[in-house]
Each structure stands twice: as C-alpha cells, then as structure tokens.
Amino acid sequence: MLSILDLFDKASPVWSADAICARLGCSTSSGYRYIRELCAAGLLTRISGGTYVLGPRIVQLELVMREIDPVSRTGQPLIAELVRQTGCDVLLANMYGDHIVNVMHERGVEHLPLSYDRGRPHPLFRGAMSKAILAFLPRARALRLYNAHAALAAESGMGTTWREFWQALQQIRKKGYSESHGELDPGVIGIGAPVLNGDEVMGSVSIGCSHARLALLNHDTLTELLLETARQIGREVERISHAEPAARA
C-alpha cells in the first residue's frame, strides 16, 4: 500500500486512481481500498476529477521527524561545528530498504550546486555518501542489494560481478571512509564516513567541497575531523538507544 506514495514525484505530482492501479498492477478493488486508507490517514488528498496528490500528514510527519529523530537531533550541532571548522558543505544520510536519503544539509561557504539536497534519494552506488554506508553493511545484506541491482552497480563502476562489488566495498571499509570526485556533481569532491551504532551502520556523514577548497585544506586533517564527527554521532545514538529502553522499564 505504501508503495503508492513512491509514485508521486516532481514529474508526476498528480495521479488518478485508475492510473495508480495500472502502475502497481493491482486489482481495482484493492487499489481503491488502499487509496481510501491513505486518504483517511492524511497521506493522500483527493482533488477535483478523482485525482490525488500527497496529503498534509506528510508535512506533519516531516516536522516530527526533524524534532525527534535521534540521529538528526544529536548530529545537528556536531555537523554545524564541522561546517565551522572546514567551511565545507556537510550532509547526513540515513538508509531505509534500498534507499539512501539525505536528511540534513548544512551549507558551507562555497554555495555548491549540489543536486541531491535534503530529502532527495541519492544514487545507490555513486557518491561518497552512499558508498560509506554500503561498505559497512553485513555481507548478506550487501549480497541481496547487489542481486537486486547488479546492472546498476556495474553501470556505476562498482564491479560487474558480486566478487568485484564486494572487493570494492571491502577496500572502502578498510580505509574507513569513501571519497568521490565529481561522481554526482561536476567539480565537487565528496568524502563520506559511516555512522555506526555498535556494529550496525545507520547512515553516513559526508563533506562536499571544490577542488580549490580541498587544496587549501589538509586532506588528512579534514578526513580525521569527518571521521571523529561520525564517531561522535554514533556514540550519541548508541547512548540514546541504550538509555530509552531503560527509561521505559
């Protein structure tokens, strides 16, 4: 049912019920039932002519997410400090299912023209932000991801076989961070570090800057500042995740 929400984007902001059913390949009775339930929950809104748009509950949930999400809540001051120290753009991403989404973006001094701003899903196999997450996934999950998107992985230069793909991820993991040069936006360098809750990767923190700015900064110092920010966010999330069950008890 929730896959209906994935149909709505900038290119297709309005859908009819019949078009939704046809795209999802579900029966008319099931499709209409799903749509009614989504409307009742405020996730869809019916407009004239029997067509639908995304509903106001999504805006409400987005506000709640910003206020209570522990990763964003603990990460914001740390990310702001990293921006102050480096002058670079700093982004925080989370992963759900097969999607990697930028959930926070603090602008640096360069006003970089980044294509994947807050809320926009990142390419799964391109860019430092995504690779910093993928490299720290358990092997079984990485294999499922590869099997579902093998052609996309090859197109992104991550290997034409599972073995090549896994080796590419292990190289990133051994280094501890990912680095990309113009993979998402021309002239933009990205450096991404994983955010870990214990052994589980929850997301990544990444820096974006131009070649000119990187030349002014010490690469090793910049990378260490990024890694320490990711570690601090991870420690805070781990503390919260252990404290909240105890509080409920």
Q: Say which CATH number the domain at 7 has.
A: 1.10.10.10
State which of 59, 92, 107 marks the end of a domain: 59
Query: What are residue 191's DSSP bridge partners?
Result: 179, 207
CB burial of residue 204 (10 Å; 0-12, 13-18, 19+): buried
Half-sphere exposure of 173 (CA within 13 A, CB side): 17
> Same domain, yes or no, for 20 and 141?
no
User: Is the residue at 209 inside a domain?
Assistant: yes
Query: What are residue 93's DSSP bridge partners?
Result: 102, 204
> Same domain, yes or no, for 98 and 215?
yes
> Same domain, yes or no, for 241 and 119?
yes
User: Is the residue at 191 inside a domain?
Assistant: yes
| For residues 10-30, average pLDDT | 89
pLDDT digits (tens, 9 = 90+) for 177-206: 999 999 999 999 999 999 998 889 989 999
State pTM to two decimals: 0.78
> Same domain, yes or no, for 201 and 104?
yes
User: Is the residue at 12 inside a domain?
Assistant: yes
Distance CA 126, CA 158 (A): 9
Quote the domain boundaries for residue 77.
69-248
Q: Which residue has the tokens 């113009």?
A: 182
pLDDT digits (tens, 9 = 90+) for 114-166: 888 777 788 999 999 999 999 999 999 999 999 999 999 999 999 999 999 99
User: Is the residue at 164 inside a domain?
Assistant: yes
Q: Are 201 and 219 in contact (CB under 8 A)?
A: no
> Same domain, yes or no, for 105 and 129?
yes
Q: Are 104 and 118 in contact (CB under 8 A)?
A: yes
